[in-house]
Amino acid sequence: MRKMFVVLLFLICSIYAYSEQRMAAGFALEWNMNSRHNFAGGAILGLDYNLFDKFALGLTFGASYNFNAIEVLEPAALLRYYFLENDHGKWFAQADGGIFVIFEDGEIIPLPLFGLRAGLRRPMGSLFYIEPYGRLGYPFAFGIGLMAGLRF
């Protein structure tokens, strides 16, 4: 376990040294329709790496609860394209793919997840950003959220 921690720490430091602010990590709060019965509130953790100026790859992990009986977990990979940049930030379109896991009445129901997201990554100084976004997909209907994070 200790060796794995040292290797992981080395990899993180190596990526950080190489990245030149190519990586970002963020936390989002979201209102979505991840439930058959009413709306849900969610939280998302995200990590992405800019391959080039226009493309990024990353991972997200979302969790939602409809405040009644349904919880959903959404681990997913992302491919993002920045299509317009101006003084206010970078507009993007993103494709998500992963697993949509529903916990309802003691059952665990895994489903494939496919989604499209669009938004604006707005820098707040040299290290921080905010990112309003909207998303559509399967098996959820929609999500609207705000992510805040750190670029490194």
Rg (CA), the chain: 17
137 in a domain, yes or no?
yes
1 in a domain, yes or no?
no
7 in a domain, yes or no?
no
79 in a domain, yes or no?
yes
pLDDT of residue 38: 84
2 in a domain, yes or no?
no
Q: What is the CATH number of the domain that holds 128?
A: 2.40.160.20
pLDDT in tens, 82-124: 998 888 899 999 999 999 999 999 999 999 999 999 999 999 9
44 in a domain, yes or no?
yes
Q: What is the pTM of this model?
A: 0.84
pLDDT of residue 69: 87
The values of phi and psi at residue 13, to 5°, are: -65, -40
The values of phi and psi at residue 37, to 5°, are: -120, 90
39 in a domain, yes or no?
yes
Q: Are 72 and 104 in contact (CB under 8 A)?
A: no
Mean pLDDT over 47-62 rounds to: 94
Domain around 124: 21-151
The DSSP line for 48-68 is EEESSSSEEEEEEEEEEE-SS
pLDDT of residue 1: 66
The per-residue pLDDT of the chain, averaged, comes to 90
Which stretch, 5-9, 35-39, 102-106, 118-122, has highest mean pLDDT?
118-122
pLDDT of residue 103: 96
The DSSP line for 21-47 is S-EEEEEEEEEE--SSSS-EEEEEEEE
Q: How many domains does the chain have?
A: 1
15 in a domain, yes or no?
no
Q: Are 29 and 131 in contact (CB under 8 A)?
A: no
Residue 8, pLDDT above cutoff 80: no
For residue 132 the two structure tokens come to 């309003």
pLDDT of residue 147: 98
Mean pLDDT over 27-45 rounds to: 93
Residue 2, pLDDT above cutoff 90: no
Helix residue spans in the chain (DSSP H):
2-19
